[in-house]
Each structure stands twice: as C-alpha cells, then as structure tokens.
A and B are shown apart, each in its own frame.
Chain A
C-alpha cells in the first residue's frame, strides 16, 4: 500500500487528466468549427469548395492520428518553425506542444464532425429546404436559419460519438511528449512496473469517468432535441 501512496504523491494523476480535459475541450471546439466549415463547403453550390471539402475528409480520415500529430509537431512546428507560443517564453515547449496537439486533434476530428453534419443535413426533409427557398431565402440563409439548426440536432448522436472518440484520442499526443494521461501512465509504469495493474485500473477508470457521462448526456440530448417528424 505504501508503494501506491508514494506513487500517487510522486505523479500528478489529476493534473494529467486536467491536461486531457483541456485537450478535449479545445480540440472539440476547433473540430466543431472546422468541421462545420468543411460540411458547408461540401454542400455548397461552388464546385471548387465541394471538391476541397471532399478531399479534406478523404485525406484526413484515412491518415492515422499518430501521423497527423507527428506531422504537426515535428513537421510544421519543429521543421517549418511555425510556433504557437512566444519562443522565449519559459514554458514554450509545454505551451507549443499542447497547442499543436489541439490543432492536430481538431483537424483529425473535423473530418468526423463534417461527416456527422452531412449525415445530419441528409436527415432534414427536402420540404424544409424547398419551403425556405420558396419564401426567398438564398443558400446561406437557408442553411443558417433552416437546415443547419435541424442538422445539428439530427447529428447529435454522431457528434457525441466523435466527442468521446476525441477524448480517448487525446492520448495519442503523448507520442510528442504532451504530459497528459497516457504519457503519465507510461512514465509511471516505466519506473514502477510492480504497480502495473493498479496504474492501469486507475487510468482506465479515469477515462470511464470522463466518457460515460458524455455518452449519457448525448443520448439524452439526442432524444430530447430530436426533431419530431
């Protein structure tokens, strides 16, 4: 038992999960914004934008997240020297790594958000868009006032799935040294192999605690907000 208490004193489990939560929230916000733009592009009347949206989804969805994280952190940040934090800040490495991690997560999950929204748009009956057009709304207004609000509500379940996937995928940024839960778990195991099972149970339980309420919330939301037809 003393081993466990020194372990928990030495390693900041809650701090690591706080980083995980922050990665999740910022990543989700970024993914939602970027994903909406991509989804709008894909249903827009402009061919170039449609094709760009399709390309984005195809390319990003078929690349492992590990690789996207590596490309962002090693390629764009290190080699092209585009940093997201003031280079002489005393916490440059932590901030820059975290922010690029958020970017990688946002880009990767934006493709799933875009697909979720597109399927949400498909659930909106033709009549809704036709009615909007018949009262004189253009593409933008139709989308903004009639189609997207319903599409978001129809896409709640897949969006919730994407959020849960995102929460779990934050572990992948451990590969470039962002100190979140999986990174901590690896360090803990490396230096305390005898507590392997305890460490795994604690860290896994942390993710269950993070994702189960999200799942329940989104299930409830999707029932409550479902557009009755």
Chain B
C-alpha cells in the first residue's frame, strides 16, 4: 500500500478547490461601456422576479437586469444564482458584477457592498387564498397559521410585535409555503408583496391566491455592486432612469407580476435612485 497516490489526490482536489474560488482579472465583467460578457446574480426560485424556467430565466428582476446590462453596453449576460446568504461574498469575490435579487438596501449591508437604485419599493405583506375575507392585515393573524422561510424577518416581526397569537410554520423555500397555502393547510404566507404577487401570478395558481395589500414595511430593492464602485453605480442609475422614462419599467412589471392583479404603491413606485 503506497500513499503517494491518495496524497496526490488530496493535492489535486485542493488545487481544484483553489482554482474554483480564485479568479483571474475580473471575470464577472469589465467596466460599463467596454462591452463583453457580464455575470449577474439573480434568484432562481422566485416566480415573477427571478425564476429558472427550463434553460431560460424570467421575471421582473431579470428584465431590469437585461435592460441595464444592455444599456451599459454588455453584449452577453450570464445569470448566476445568488442565494440570500451569499450575496455579499459573491460581489466581494468578483463572481458577479451586479445583483438583482430582491436585495433590500440596508445600512448593515452597505458596510460590505454598495447599491445602485433602488429600482423598486416593495413592502412585506401577506398572501392569502382568493376567497379569504377575514385576513385583512397582519393584525388579524392571531390564531391563524402563517408560513414563511427559515430566518425570515417578516414572520419574526409579526410574531413579536403585531400578532403574538399567530402560529408560525417555516420551510426552506417559499414555494413550499405557497403549495401549503393553496392546499388550505395554512392561512397566509408572508414576505415582500412583489414576491408574493409573483407566486399569485403563476398560471397554476391563477385566481386562487391574492395579495392582501397592506404592506407593513418598506423594502427598497437596489442593485448590489462591489463596494465603492461609483462609476458603475452612476451608470446603472442612468440606465434605470432611462428604463422608467421609456416605459420599459412599467411594461416589465406588468408582464411579470401583473397577472396576479397586484399593483405596486404608486406613491413610491417607480422610485428615484439614491445618490451614488
């Protein structure tokens, strides 16, 4: 029994792992205006916002990302999944150039990354069955069954401050919550209203679910970029402004989450971008 080979294998695997994590140059995309390929982080499992459908991606986030990328002169867009926990490190390690993934602008996150936008103002809300009449807002949830994902802030907020008699079910994805809601075993799902609207807009659920429409928080969706990249930030903001001005923003929203009957708060949407 010789150990040269197994040890060599460890070395090879270690080298492989290194090459996976290390990057040469900026593979996620060059500066705006220089063309070429750009890698953009989105969600893969949020209908209406960022959803993998076959080999394609669709949703509002995807549409905005495509518009911005085109406006910035990139000729090719590659989408990469950016799970919530990984968004900051994906940007810091240059694996993605921008993130359009229901990414709320918060002071905490600004310590690690910068944001362009916002491009949409959402709010935490409730999704209920279309025939439901007794849930009209978070304060009516006492004694009801509410579903959200593990580590969700909106469910925690309802339980702690608004309706402490609520029963909380947590799954790892929203799609499981929505399935449970559709089958009637829970009463409501909570997260940002536009995500909920995306589910309600799915053809399989059409007419069965509705968004309550009483948002109880403000979530400002920004475009995550590497910290301090003001040049990119300014360019994205210009692109977003153009998108709103030429009507593409409205068109994209109507095409993706529109079928649910959801209309965003017109007082805040479309939003004006923050200064970079």
Contact between A177 and B184 (Cβ–Cβ < 8 Å)? Answer: no
- B183 proximity list for chain A (CB < 8 A): 78-79, 81
Q: Does A74 contact B (CB under 8 A)?
A: yes
Q: Choose from B143, B151, B176, B185 the contact partner of A191 (Cβ within 8 Å).
A: B151
In angstroms, Cα B168 to Cα A112, docked, is: 33
Contact between A74 and B169 (Cβ–Cβ < 8 Å)? Answer: no
Residue of B nearest to A186 (CB): B150
- A177 proximity list for chain B (CB < 8 A): 150, 169-171
A11 to chain B: closest CB distance in Å?
13
Q: Which of B66-118 contact A (CB under 8 A)?
A: 85
Q: Which of A173-218 contact B (CB under 8 A)?
A: 175-177, 183, 186-187, 190-191
A66 to chain B: closest CB distance in Å?
10
B263 to chain A: closest CB distance in Å?
30
Q: Does B165 contact A (CB under 8 A)?
A: yes
- B150 proximity list for chain A (CB < 8 A): 177, 183, 186-187, 190
Q: Does A91 contact B (CB under 8 A)?
A: yes
In angstroms, Cα B176 to Cα A97, docked, is: 14
- Chain B count of residues within 8 A CB distance of the other chain: 19
Q: Does B179 contact A (CB under 8 A)?
A: yes
Residue of B nearest to A187 (CB): B151
Q: Which of B27-47 contact A (CB under 8 A)?
A: none
Q: Choose from B165, B168, B172 the contact partner of A175 (Cβ within 8 Å).
A: B172
- B85 proximity list for chain A (CB < 8 A): 190
- Chain A count of residues within 8 A CB distance of the other chain: 20
In angstroms, Cα B169 to Cα A78, docked, is: 12
- A93-B179 CB under 8 A given contacts A77-B185, A186-B150: no
Residue of B nearest to A191 (CB): B151
In angstroms, Cα B176 to Cα A211, docked, is: 32
Contact between A186 and B151 (Cβ–Cβ < 8 Å)? Answer: yes
Contact between B179 and A94 (Cβ–Cβ < 8 Å)? Answer: no
Q: Does B145 contact A (CB under 8 A)?
A: yes
Q: Choose from B165, B180, B186 the contact partner of A90 (Cβ within 8 Å).
A: B165
A112 to chain B: closest CB distance in Å?
26
In angstroms, Cα B169 to Cα A91, docked, is: 11
Residue of A nearest to B145 (CB): A93
Q: Which of B138-184 contact A (CB under 8 A)?
A: 143, 145, 150-151, 165, 167-172, 176, 179-180, 183-184
A153 to chain B: closest CB distance in Å?
38
Contact between A93 and B169 (Cβ–Cβ < 8 Å)? Answer: yes
- A78-B170 CB under 8 A given contacts A187-B150, A190-B151: no
Residue of A nearest to B150 (CB): A186
Residue of B nearest to A178 (CB): B170
Q: Does A92 contact B (CB under 8 A)?
A: yes
A15 to chain B: closest CB distance in Å?
16
Pairs across A and B, CB under 8 Å, 13 listed = A78-B183, A78-B186, A83-B185, A90-B143, A93-B167, A94-B167, A97-B169, A175-B172, A176-B171, A177-B170, A186-B151, A187-B151, A191-B151
Question: Which 5 pairs, one residue from A and one from B, show the smallest C-beta to C-beta distance?
Answer: A177-B170, A78-B185, A190-B151, A93-B167, A78-B180
Question: Which residues in B have some Cβ–Cβ distance to A below 8 Å?
Answer: 85, 143, 145, 150-151, 165, 167-172, 176, 179-180, 183-186
A-B contact sample (20 more), CB < 8 A, given A79-B179, A187-B151: A74-B176, A74-B179, A77-B185, A78-B180, A79-B183, A79-B185, A81-B184, A81-B185, A90-B167, A91-B167, A93-B145, A93-B169, A93-B186, A94-B167, A175-B171, A177-B150, A177-B171, A187-B150, A190-B85, A190-B150
